[in-house]
Structure 1
Amino acid sequence: MTTEHRTPETESTWRKSSYSGNQGGACVEVRTNHEAVGIRDSKDLAGPQLSVSGQTWATFLSYAADHTV
């Protein structure tokens, strides 16, 4: 399950994992489009954003799935 936030300057949808909860902490949101994957801090919606290629994001997700914290 994800929580979605639309930004007025784009039609992209930001998604936050339901695992993030509402207690604060370290949460990120992601959005995808045909060019890249955007990543931002869910507590600072107007703050800086990181943009990576779809291939880079897929590599990260694969790594994260194989490693636990």
Structure 2
Amino acid sequence: MTTPAQPTDRALVWHTSSYSNGAGGECVECAITSTRAHVRDTKTVDGPVVTVANPAWVAFLRALKRG
């Protein structure tokens, strides 16, 4: 589900992708909680946030690792 960033999102601890080179490329940030994974564009921190349940996030990461 994609939603506009809410003020409560600021309480999340965001981590920038290790693939980010700081040159303004295609980068994302993630904030993981006990039940959800939140993903946003590094360049648009006040923009939309995609939020998914942790099982869906884990399945997504496993699929990426498998190629």
CA distance in 2, matches of 1:41, 1:17: 10
Alignment-derived partner of residue 37 in structure 2: 37
CA RMSD of superposed structures (Å): 1.5
Where in structure 2 are there 5+ consecutive unaligned residues? 1-6
Alignment of 1:7-46 (within 5 A): 9=8, 10-46=10-46
Which residue identity lines up with residue 46 of structure 2 in the other structure? A
Q: Distance in 2 between matches of 1:38 and 1:65?
A: 19
Q: Deviations over 1:36-66 (max 9, x none)?
A: 1100000000000000010000000001111
Aligned residues: percent identity?
Answer: 33
* TM-score (structure 2 length as normaliser): 0.79
TM-score, normalisation: structure 1: 0.77
SS in 2 for 1:46: coil
Separation (CA, whole Å) in 1 of partners of 2:15 and 2:55: 19
**Alignment length (residue pairs):** 60
